[in-house]
Structure 1
Amino acid sequence: MTETQNKDAAKKDTLTIRIFLGLILGFGIGVLMFYLNHHLPDTTFSRFNDTYLINGVFHVVGKIFVNLLKLMIVPLVLVSLVCGVIASGESKSLGRLGTKTFLLYLLTTAIAITLAIIVASVVDPGAGISLDTNYEHFKLAERPPLVQVLIDIFPSNPFSAMAEGNMLQVIVFAILVGIALNNTGESGKRIGAIFEDMNIIVMKLVELIMRLAPYGVFFLVAKVFAEQGLDILKGLSAYMFCVVFALFLHLCGTYMGILTLVAKLNPMIFMKKMRAALIFAFSTASSAATMPVTLGIVEKKLGVKNSIASFTIPLGTTINMDGTAIMQGVATVFIAGAYGIDLTVSQFVIVITTATLASIGTAAVPSAGMITLAMVLGQVGLPAEAIGLILGVDRILDMIRTAVNVTGDAVVTCTVARSEGEFDKTIFDDPDVEVQSA
Structure 2
Amino acid sequence: MLGAVVGLAVGRPAMSLQPIGDLFVRLLEMIIVPIIVFTLLMATRELSPKNLGKVGGQVVGLYLATTAVAIAIGLAVSNLINPGTGVTLEQTDVETEQAPALTDQLFNIVPANPISALAEGNILAIIFFTLAFGLGMTMVRAEVEPDSAVRNGIDTIFNVADAGAEVMFKIVWGIMEFGVLGVFALMAALFGEIGLEAISAYFFLAMTLTVAVGLQITLVYLLLLIRGVVGGSPVDFLRGSKEALITALSIRSSSATLPITMSDADENLRIKERVYGFSLPLGATVNMDGTAMYLGIVAIFAANIAGASLTLFEQVAILLTALLMSVGTAGVPSASLVMMTAVLTQVGLPLEVIGMIAGIDPLLDRLRTMNNIAGDLAVSSVVAKWNDAIDLTSGVWADAPVGVGEETVNVTNDD
TM-score (norm 1): 0.58
Equivalence map 1:408-427=2 (5 Å): 408-427=375-394
Taking the aligned partners of 1:149 and 1:396, their CA distance within structure 2 comes to 32
2:56 is aligned with 1:98? yes
**Do 1:351 and 1:379's aligned partners in 2 also have CA atoms closer than 8 Å?**
yes
Return the letter of the residue paired with 1:106.
L
| Cα pair distance change 1:166/1:317, threshold 3 Å | farther
In 2, Cα distance between the equivalents of 1:326 and 1:95?
28
* Aligned-pair CA distance for 1:383: 2.3
State the one-letter code of the partner of 1:126. G
Deviation of 1:384 (Å): 2.1
Q: Which residue number in structure 2 is paired with residue 45 of structure 1?
A: none
- 1:375–1:396 CA distance, 2 compared to 1 (3 A): same
Aligned-residue offset at 1:358: 1.1
Whole-angstrom distance in 2 between the partners of 1:107 and 1:134:
34
Q: Is the 8 A contact 2:286 2:327 kept in 1?
A: yes
Which of 245, 248, 251 matches 2:211? 245
In structure 1, give the amino acid aligned to 2:69: I
SS in 2 for 1:274: helix
Please state whether the residue corresponding to 1:126 is helix, strand or coil. coil
Contact 1:149 / 1:361 at 8 angstroms: preserved in 2? Answer: no
1:109 has 2:89 as partner: no
> How many Å apart are 1:430 and its aligned residue?
3.0
Quote how far apart the aligned CAs of 1:126 are: 1.5
Give the SS at the match of 2:333. coil
Instruction: Output the amino acid matched with 1:398.
Output: D
Q: Does the residue aligned with 2:53 lie in a helix, a strand or coil?
A: helix
Whole-angstrom CA distance in 1 between matches of 2:160 and 2:234: 37
Q: Deviations over 1:4-54 (max 9, x none)?
A: xxxxxxxxxxxxxxxxxxxxxxxxxxxxxx9xxx9xxxxxxxxxxxxxxxx
CA contact (8 A) 1:117 1:333 kept: yes
Distance 2:288 2:390 in 1: 24
C-alpha distance after superposition, 1:204-238 (max 9, x if no partner): xxxxxxxxxxxxxxxxxxxxxxx9xxx99876101
Q: Contact 1:319/1:361 (CA < 8 Å) preserved in 2? A: yes
Contact 1:358 1:372 in 2 (8 A): yes
Residue 156 in structure 1 maps to residue 155 in structure 2: yes
Contact conserved, 1:305 with 1:417, CA < 8 A, in 2? yes
For residue 380 of structure 1, report the CA deviation from its aligned partner.
Answer: 1.2
Counterpart of 2:297 in structure 1: which amino acid?
A: V
1:386 alignment partner in structure 2: 353
Output the CA distance in 1 between the equivalents of 2:245 and 2:165.
24
Distance 1:295 1:166 in 2: 25
Aligned length: 280
| CA deviation profile, 1:165-214 (whole Å, cap 9, x unmatched) | 979xxxxxxxxxxxxxxxxxxxxxxxxxxxxxxxxxxxxxxxxxxxxxxx
Aligned-residue offset at 1:315: 1.0
Q: Secondary structure, in 3 states, of the residue corresponding to 2:269?
A: coil
In the alignment, what sits opposite 2:297?
330
Question: In 1, Cα distance between the equivalents of 2:165 and 2:315?
Answer: 31
* Structure 1 position 162, deviation (Å): 11
| Paired letter, 2:289 | D
Residues 417, 284 of structure 1: alpha-carbon distance in 2 compared, 3 angstrom cutoff: same
Which of the numbers 203, 215, 229 marks the counterpart of 1:262?
229
1:119 aligns with 2:77: yes
Between 295-304 and 148-157, the greater mean CA deviation after superposition: 148-157
Aligned to 2:408: none
Distance 1:165 1:411 in 2: 32
Q: Do the aligned residues in 1 keep the contact of 2:85 with 2:201 (CA within 8 Å)? A: no
Kept in 1, the 8 Å contact 2:285–2:330? The answer is yes
**Partner Cα distance (1:104, 1:360) in 2:** 13
1:408 Cα offset (Å): 0.3
2:306/2:350 contact within 8 Å kept: no
Task: Quote how far apart the aligned CAs of 1:387 are.
Answer: 1.3
Write out aligned runs for 1:353-372 (5 A): 353-372=320-339
Aligned-pair CA distance for 1:354 = 1.1
Cα displacement (A) at 1:431: 6.3
Counterpart of 2:105 in structure 1 is: none
| Residues 282 and 399 in structure 1, CA contact (< 8 A), matched pair in contact too | yes
Task: Give the equivalent residue in structure 2 for 1:313.
Answer: 280
* 1:145 and 2:126 aligned: yes
Residues 128 and 94 of structure 1: CA distance in aligned 2, closer, same or farther (over 3 Å): closer
Question: C-alpha separation between the residues in 2 aligned to 1:320 and 1:367?
Answer: 15
1:406 maps to which residue?
373
Identity %, equivalent residues:
33
Distance change in 2, residues 1:268/1:294 (3 Å): same
Amino acid at match of 2:126: P
User: What residue is the counterpart of 1:377 in the other structure?
Assistant: 344
Gap regions ≥5 residues in structure 1: 1-33, 39-80, 136-141, 168-226, 433-438
**Cα distance in 1 between the residues matched to 2:311 and 2:164:** 39
Of 143-152 and 286-295, the range deviating more from structure 2:
143-152
Counterpart residue identity of residue 266, structure 1:
S
State the superposition RMSD in angstroms.
3.4
Q: How far has the Cα of 1:385 moved from its partner?
A: 2.8
Structural mapping, 1:177-188, within 5 Å: none
| 1:134-186 deviations in Å (ceiling 9; x for gaps) | 89xxxxxx88921235545756249948985979xxxxxxxxxxxxxxxxxxx
Q: What residue ranges of structure 2 are gaps of 5+ in the alignment?
A: 7-45, 94-120, 139-153, 167-183, 185-195, 401-415
Please give the TM-score of this superposition, normalised by the length of structure 2: 0.61
What is the SS of the residue equivalent to 2:90? coil
Deviation at 1:130, TM superposition (A): 0.7
> Does structure 2 retain, via aligned residues, the 8 Å contact 1:286–1:366?
yes
Tell me if the contact between 1:280 and 1:290 (Cα under 8 Å) persists in the aligned partners: yes
